[in-house]
Each structure stands twice: as C-alpha cells, then as structure tokens.
Amino acid sequence: MKIHKLVPHGFLTVCILKQLKTGSKHGYNIMKCLEKEMGWGPSPGAIYPALHQLKERGLIIKVKSKDKKKISYKLTKEGRSLANKIEKEVEEMRNKFCNHIRTMGQIFGIDEPELGRLMKGHEKIRVDNFFLLPVRTRNSLIKSKHLIMKISKNKSKQKKLNKIIKDNYKRLKELEAE
C-alpha cells in the first residue's frame, strides 16, 4: 500500500501550515521539505489545490517575487494562530504517546535508557507502525495494556502477571522464529 493512501484527510494542509511557520516558501520548496522531513513528497496535483484551499480560507497569502515570476506563500495572522494551536495539540498527543510507550516499556521490562535507544533507532520512521497493524491486533494490544495496568495495581498478583507476560513473550519469540 502506498503511503499517500494512509494519509488522513487534512493532513497535507497541516503539514503546509507547519512548513510555512518558518517563513514564506514556494510550492515546490514545500514539496521538497515534506519529502526530506517525512519521506513522503506530495505531488503538485495535491500541493497546489491544498495551497489554494488554505488561501481561500484566509490562512495563507500569495507573495510575488520582485520580478513577478515566482509565487511564494506565507501565513496570515489567522494561519499562524492555527499553526500554533495545531503544534500545541500535536505536542500534547506526542506526550501522551510517549507516556504510553514508557508504560509498555515498564510492562515488558525495558528500562528508560534502552527504550530511548530503541526509539532513537526508529526516529526516521515517520509513520508509527502501531497504526499500521491490523485493527484486531491493535485492539487486542490496547485491551491487554488496560488489563495489565489494572492487574498490576494489585501487589499480590504482580508476580503472576510478570510470569504470564514473560511466558507470552517467549511464545511470541517462538512464533517469530517459525
């Protein structure tokens, strides 16, 4: 499956707003920055309609060069405000996600430094693989996490819980080796 099929509606406009926070850019420059940053470069057939939509909404304006041959785009006051709001919400989501990752690390016995190394090794991956898992697998993982968190609060059950997790980890490793 191609990455553009996975991109949610509206994602491109958010990416454009983020790119324009650093200053005005040409459409081609935005495409190349997105490609470099995310490993995904939208086509001109996607980027220019998105720029037009942002202009129609009053979030960006066109700026012509002195020779009037090149057109770049920059944020309006409303566009900058929206970009800042989105950035704040993304940071909140990132913090929640990191807390979930830390929790999963604790559940599986991965200490903070090792977890950091694992995350650093995957920092170039811009799409979280968790969301690429089949829905049933993802739901099972989420339900398991909630149940594990609930059981782990009972100190008398923690030893049994750790044994179950270790046993299941071994079973998963055996399945991987098949």
- In a domain, residue 124? The reply is no
Q: Taking a C-beta distance cutoff of 8 angstroms, is the pair 64, 70 a contact?
A: yes
The pLDDT score that the predictor gives to residue 63 is: 87
- In a domain, residue 36? The reply is yes
Residues 80 and 138 placed together within one structural domain of the fold: no
Q: Taking a C-beta distance cutoff of 8 angstroms, is the pair 97, 158 a contact?
A: no
Q: Point out the domain boundary residue: 52, 84, 116.
A: 84
The pLDDT score that the predictor gives to residue 125 is: 43
Tell me what the mean pLDDT of segment 122-127 comes to.
46
Copy the structure tokens of residue 134: 């089949």
CA dihedral angle for residue 4, residue 9, residue 10, residue 14, rounded to 10 degrees:
-40
Residues 78 and 7 placed together within one structural domain of the fold: yes
| CATH at residue 24 | 1.10.10.10
Q: Taking a C-beta distance cutoff of 8 angstroms, is the pair 79, 13 a contact?
A: no
- In a domain, residue 53? The reply is yes
Q: Domain span at residue 12?
A: 3-84
Q: Point out the domain boundary residue: 84, 109, 125.
A: 84
Q: Point out the domain boundary residue: 84, 112, 144.
A: 84
Q: Taking a C-beta distance cutoff of 8 angstroms, is the pair 34, 4 a contact?
A: no
How many whole angstroms separate alpha carbon 150 and alpha carbon 142? 12
- In a domain, residue 21? The reply is yes
Structure confidence by residue, pLDDT tens digits, 61-91: 988 877 767 889 999 999 999 999 988 988 8
How many domains is the chain built from? 2
pLDDT higher at 26 or 41: 26
Mean pLDDT of the chain: 81
Structure confidence by residue, pLDDT tens digits, 80-120: 999 999 889 888 888 888 787 778 777 777 777 777 776 66
